Structure formats: structure tokens, C-alpha cells
Amino acid sequence: MFTGIVSDVGEVRAVTPRSGELHRISISCSYPRDSIALGASIACSGICLTVTEAVEDVGRTLFSVDAAAETLRVTTAGDWKPGGKINLERSLKMGDELGGHLILGHVDGVATLEQREDLTDSARMTFRAPLALMRFIAQKGSVALDGVSLTVNEVGADTFSVLIIPHTLQVTTFGALRTGARINLEVDQMARYAARLAEARG
């Protein structure tokens, strides 16, 4: 479980196809090697992935994760290439501050950046999302985009907008995001459960 507060930006070093539609992905990060246990969960651009290997690599840590067929189908992991940047967050521990909102790392679909408006210090971004997910997105509600917890400003028929503050632009991949970019979307789980309860009653 995560909160959408990115703690590092990693770099994809290698993507190796393996048997059974599985990709092994190696990612460079600044987390200390001895702080990453095998089997630990790390949110990689919002996808909860399990560490299969971790080694020291010229002053940084190189860890590997496996992305299975469903992950490659539903998320942007299938698009990752060496040199690409991804947002990273370690899983929550008891006593950690809940700075964003509760995120499972189970991506619901992929959204596309339709428009970016750069303001004085911030940026307003409008995303197009799959229609099936729009009913879970509400004005002033929460979404996770590439693992970043954000508040929804406006909602249209199949689009929604968020305002990205200067700090987020600096410490995540959002500063480099351009129109047409595909990003991982996880809707607020509270909205999902509320919708399910309403369906059951109806």
C-alpha cells in the first residue's frame, strides 16, 4: 500500500523479455541497497511490483522486477525503454505519514495527456481517461497518475484536469510530461466501493 508521495525518480536500465509473456525490468534508484529486501513492494510509476533482485551499482542501487502479461496489457510498463524515467515510492510502514491518499498500486487503466498549460510556477494538465473509469473520477476527488496522488479540478465527459504544483513538477516525472504522453491511472478506491454499493442496492 502507498500514498502517492513520490520519494525518488528511477531510470530504466534494461527490459528483458522472458518466457511466458514476462518482462524483467531493471531500475536504477537512490534507495540504499541494504534497505531493499527481496520480495519488497515498490510502486513504479504507480504499479506495485515485487523486487526480485537488488545490487549496488556505481553509487546507486539497481533493482529488478517482473511485469507479467496482465501488467503489460493494462499499464504503460510495456512501453518502458532503457533511459526512461519512472516515479518510485516505497511501500508504507506502520507509523508513516499518510501524506496523499491510500493507493494500492493496482492500475485501472491508461490515461493520455490531452493538454498542458504552463502557468507561472505550476501546470494545468488535462487527461483523457477510459470511459469506464470516468464514473469514479469526481471534482475535488483523488486520483493517482503515474503513482502521484493528485486532486481533480474539473471533470468532463471523458476528460479531467489537475493542477501540478512546482514541487511536484520538480521531484516527479511530471515536469517533462508532454501532450500525448500515456500514464498509469488508479482511481480512488473509496469511489470504486461507493459505486459498487450503489449498484448492489439498485
DSSP state of 202: -
What does CATH list as the number for 8-90?
2.40.30.20
pLDDT at 189: 83
Whole-model pTM: value is 0.93
pLDDT score at 61:
97
pLDDT for 192 equals: 77
Q: What is the pLDDT of residue 20?
A: 75
Task: Please give the span between the terminal C-alpha atoms of the chain, in angstroms, as a whole number.
Answer: 31
Q: What is the dihedral of CA 96, 99, 101, 104, to 10 degrees?
A: -40
pLDDT of the chain, 202 residues: tens digit per residue: 899 999 999 999 999 998 778 999 999 999 999 999 999 999 999 999 999 999 999 899 999 999 999 999 999 999 999 999 999 999 988 778 878 888 999 999 999 999 999 999 999 999 999 999 999 999 999 999 999 999 999 999 999 999 999 999 999 999 999 999 999 999 998 887 787 777 777 6
Phi, psi of 14 (to 5 degrees): -155, 145
The confidence score (pLDDT) of residue 195 equals 77
- Whether 64 and 106 have beta carbons less than 8 Å apart is answered as no
E runs forming strands in 38-191 = 41-44, 47-57, 60-67, 85-90, 109-118, 123-128, 142-145, 148-155, 159-164, 182-187
Report the topology of domain 109-201.
Answer: Elongation Factor Tu (Ef-tu); domain 3 (2.40.30)
In angstroms, the CA 84 to CA 48 distance is: 18
Tell me the catalytic residues.
2, 41, 48, 50, 68, 106, 151
Distance CA 22, CA 70 (A): 9
* Inter-residue contact 11 to 45 (CB < 8 Å): no
- Domain boundaries for CATH 2.40.30.20 within the chain: 8-90, 109-201
